[in-house]
Structure 1
């Protein structure tokens, strides 16, 4: 082989190496890795200092305060939960980088942030704005679930105003329009914002609360149509509205001229929703007792959801449930969850997605970090990285 041939061979090999590097999603830190399934974990952004909530959490560490102060409600009750990574500040880009790095390495390529609007302004946004968006660098996707429920004093275990409403989750049309402008400009236009067929996905937690605040079904339909038009005016082909399927999703509507809206599916069709998922299994089955029994009852409902609705249903996985840190009294909780048991339902979710080839393969998970509800993928001192290893085995080739 002469020098010219050797040089050409070296150049060709280098070119191939560069091409492989550029095309490999695992090697690039500036694009979201491609997977056969999009795995979207709900993210509860309450583990940082929030000035509005200082009267609830005077330690200025957010809801971490009730986690490390939690105690067992009865013998054998596994409290407190102890994070293996310590009590990270999610509004700190360095701490958030640790979460993002672990998520994408273990097959979780999307965060669904619980997003709040209280007292005519955002709440708990620092996690997204100061933590996630500064740390992410387009490594994973995200989208918003408008958690438009009332904020009540159950957050404060020793607060004397038990069960009273601190802030209302409903908004009037003026506030709704402000929300629309904010989410389009601040989030939809971010290159990492999750889209289906080019349309940004926006999830609504409590449809009935939205209807109540806007004044009725017709007013809500008009508001959502306005949201779509504004999204399209911003350069997107449409808006993908996602609903949370649970008891807060109305099964009927009154005052709709010329139409009978008497099922949840008809409600979804009337407002033009595009897909459904669950937030957690605690919305489907009473969270008390054996994990596998609870999981079987919940996941066995998926087939019915798929048949009952004309829009895609995306299956939800739930790690466990124990919301006792939030309450001064004992509430029901799930016994003996484990990564090995959870793996069975991960495979069930994949099989469900495979059986519905005409819709995106999206699986939602409760949750990345719902420590106060005992449902989290983040490692604790009991299971270590066990749940994340299950995800990696299932979703990373």
Structure 2
């Protein structure tokens, strides 16, 4: 009888361990999702923007000094971790470790090139790459928009330009060499089918700077060629879907370009996503009204485009720290409501058999636009916990 009892205990232990193993397998399966958060690298000292942020801490300056514009307006936003220096590997290590713990496994860095030189690059070079040790994937979104007084809270005008986002072909070729050498060759650079992913924010601006659609196509073909010569099977171009993506282009011999899909196909883009819901619906009012209207557009994107559309989820929106006047903003965002849209995105990816399973989030740290996963004193780790509830840990 004692022998039987020991056998029974052993059998029960085996069943329990098997169950644990199965649960672990399910968690591994969940981590097949690429949860890619946009990263705004403006929270470190950038010499070129010292005239905007003389305290030498980047946009933390305006976050600290933000004030409510009306009753019940939740400003300032206060980071739970304090005002970290993202160009410091120690501070960046906290971001990477926390992101992975809560299921965010990829950063999409906003990347800039103004006046023949990179801008805000220290976050990636000095912070992320020195801290990462290939733990977390990343890729670049070339934020090739103009730098306007939108970044200057003391300037009531938002239509004058500090730096032009357009580049000519000479500068484009320099950018190609820099991106391939400094980033594509990093083992942690995100790739689809072996092809490095490179996202472009404003296609209109690229076309204008390069001198028209034909010259832009030549430049992008050159980018592909140089990527292949560097040892990759190709280049995966990704577009940001919003009004800066033209629906028609003129001067293309023999090609009737009459839709955004035609435009992307002509240039050889392979996928698209959104940067934030503010590009889809006016960011003013209730979070769920805004979120429902934005995510209900996904089916149309799927049907409209021949390339893969990856859904985007946005945490919230409030860019008032950047303005001396009151701008529209989103209210009533909570981690629980955010989680509802994460589930909707997961279901969209699964039901449409999207491969790889990429979901983009705005954003890891858009503090100046009120859309961030990083913990604050109001919700703590609530938004990150929502990600982990739906997708599990990336560790």
Taking structure 2 as the reference length, the TM-score comes to 0.91
Q: Conserved in 1, the CA contact under 8 Å of 2:343 and 2:390?
A: yes
Counterparts in 2 of 1:268 and 1:84: CA distance versus 1, 3 Å: same
Instruction: Please list every run of 5 or more consecutive structure 2 residues that lacks an aligned counterpart in the other structure.
Output: 1-23
Which residue matches 2:161? 165
Which residue matches 1:7? none
Aligned equivalent of 2:334, options 338, 342, 345: 338
- Higher mean C-alpha deviation, range 203-212 or range 327-336: 327-336
Q: Which runs of 4+ in 1 moved over 2 A?
A: 159-163
Which residue matches 2:349? 353
Aligned equivalent of 2:306, options 294, 297, 310: 310
Residues 227-271 of structure 1: CA distance to partner in whole angstroms, max 9, x if unpaired? 000000000000000000001000001000011101000001000
Which residue matches 1:376? 372
Which residue matches 1:136? 132
Aligned equivalent of 1:199, options 185, 192, 195: 195
Instruction: Please list every run of 5 or more consecutive structure 1 residues that lacks an aligned counterpart in the other structure.
Output: 1-23, 26-31
- Equivalent positions of 1:312-331 (< 5 A) are 312-331=308-327
Residues 259-307 of structure 1: CA distance to partner in whole angstroms, max 9, x if unpaired? 1101000001000000000000000000000000000000000010000
CA distance, structure 2, for counterparts of residue 223 and residue 348 of structure 1: 37
Aligned equivalent of 2:295, options 291, 299, 304: 299
Aligned equivalent of 2:241, options 236, 245, 251: 245
Whether 1:278 and 2:274 are equivalent positions in the alignment is: yes
Which residue matches 1:156? 152
Which residue matches 1:40? 36
Residues 365-385 of structure 1: CA distance to partner in whole angstroms, max 9, x if unpaired? 000000000000000000000
Structure 1 SS opposite 2:252: coil
Structure 1 SS opposite 2:37: strand
Aligned equivalent of 1:77, options 73, 77, 97: 73
Q: Conserved in 1, the CA contact under 8 Å of 2:197 and 2:238?
A: yes
Whether 1:255 and 2:251 are equivalent positions in the alignment is: yes
Counterparts in 2 of 1:104 and 1:150: CA distance versus 1, 3 Å: same
CA distance, structure 2, for counterparts of residue 161 and residue 287 of structure 1: 20
CA distance, structure 1, for counterparts of residue 322 and residue 358 of structure 2: 31
Q: Conserved in 1, the CA contact under 8 Å of 2:315 and 2:372?
A: yes
Aligned equivalent of 1:87, options 83, 89, 100: 83
Q: Conserved in 1, the CA contact under 8 Å of 2:30 and 2:391?
A: no
Which residue matches 1:396? 392
Q: Conserved in 1, the CA contact under 8 Å of 2:236 and 2:269?
A: yes
Residues 207-243 of structure 1: CA distance to partner in whole angstroms, max 9, x if unpaired? 0000000000000000000000000000000000000
Query: 1:356 deviation in Å?
Result: 2.1
Structure 2 SS opposite 1:317: strand
CA distance, structure 2, for counterparts of residue 381 and residue 188 of structure 1: 37
* Number of equivalent positions: 368
Counterparts in 2 of 1:162 and 1:362: CA distance versus 1, 3 Å: closer
Whether 1:387 and 2:357 are equivalent positions in the alignment is: no
CA distance, structure 2, for counterparts of residue 154 and residue 220 of structure 1: 28
Structure 2 SS opposite 1:321: coil
Structure 1 SS opposite 2:63: helix
Structure 2 SS opposite 1:256: coil
CA distance, structure 2, for counterparts of residue 160 and residue 369 of structure 1: 25
Taking structure 1 as the reference length, the TM-score comes to 0.91
